[in-house]
């Protein structure tokens, strides 16, 4: 993990990271929408922003074989005793299907969470794959009172801010437990003008 917390935060914050044996934790039917100046992301807690910097990110990576596929997990928890929204917890899993790229290739996949907004940067871009990736993601311990259930969604956003609505099995906002969750969100590989360097997937409100 490449993260640096100030001494003031260290006594109040406990960070727990876990991943499977070959990944590690460091510091779909699609609809096009009009390009936006900036997506209306769900906001992450501002009081945790001091624990992040340009140099420190929460991310996970894994080398995946094209024949076998695989998944990458990102999971951590920050204890906040007595906080009105409870502990801050992230659970994310990205699945790469078998035969998503040539069977004789190994590719390094990385997921990185933005510190301020509820989106993941995922590399390489899904446009370099034969099949869609799927995303499960749960965020707990955030203020969800300003999320409109009628507009709440999970999108893929290209580098030009063009948005693709994902197909998904389930998306929920829980106002009592202060959490949001999406299950098996996906898009099919597209022909939009997006660099192969990566893509963003995230919750909008």
| 0.85 surpassed by pTM | no
pLDDT recorded at residue 190: 59
Does residue 1 form part of some domain?
no
User: CB of 13 within 8 A of CB of 4?
Assistant: no
Residue 34 inside a domain? The answer is yes
Which residue range is the domain that position 18 belongs to? 7-204
The pLDDT tens digits for 153-162 are 999 987 666 7
Task: Convert the pLDDT of each residue in 121-151 to its tens digit.
Answer: 999 888 788 998 999 999 999 999 999 999 9
Residue 20 forms part of a structural domain? yes
- Please check whether residue 2 lies inside any domain of the structure: no
Number of independent structural domains in the chain: 1
- pLDDT tens for residues 46-97? 766 445 444 456 899 999 999 999 999 999 888 888 889 999 999 999 999 9
**Residues whose CB is less than 8 angstroms from the CB of residue 37 and which lie 6 or more positions away in sequence, other chains included:** 161
pLDDT given at position 109: 95
61 lies in a domain?
yes
Residue 164: helix, strand or coil by DSSP? strand
* DSSP assignment string, 112-134: EE-SSBSEEEEES-GGGSSS-EE
**What is the rounded average pLDDT for all residues in the chain?**
79
């Amino acid at each position: 993990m490449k993260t640096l917390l100030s001494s003031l935060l260290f006594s109040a914050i406990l960070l727990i990271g876990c991943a499977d044996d070959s990944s590690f934790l460091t510091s779909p039917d699609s609809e096009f929408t009009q390009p936006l100046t900036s997506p209306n992301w769900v906001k992450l807690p501002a009081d945790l922003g001091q624990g992040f910097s340009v140099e420190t990110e929460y991310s996970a990576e894994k080398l995946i074989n094209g024949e076998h596929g695989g998944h990458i997990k990102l999971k951590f928890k920050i204890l906040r005793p007595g906080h009105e929204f409870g502990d801050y917890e992230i659970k994310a899993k990205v699945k790469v299907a078998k035969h998503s790229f040539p069977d004789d290739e190994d590719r390094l996949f990385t997921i990185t969470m933005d510190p301020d907004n509820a989106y993941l940067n995922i590399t390489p871009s899904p446009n370099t794959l034969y099949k869609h990736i799927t995303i499960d993601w749960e965020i707990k311990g955030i203020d969800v009172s300003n999320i409109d259930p009628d507009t709440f969604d999970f999108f893929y956003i290209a580098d030009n801010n063009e948005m693709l609505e994902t197909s998904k099995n389930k998306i929920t906002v829980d106002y009592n437990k202060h959490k949001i969750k999406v299950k098996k969100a996906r898009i099919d590989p597209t022909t939009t003008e997006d660099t192969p360097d990566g893509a963003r997937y995230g919750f909008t409100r």
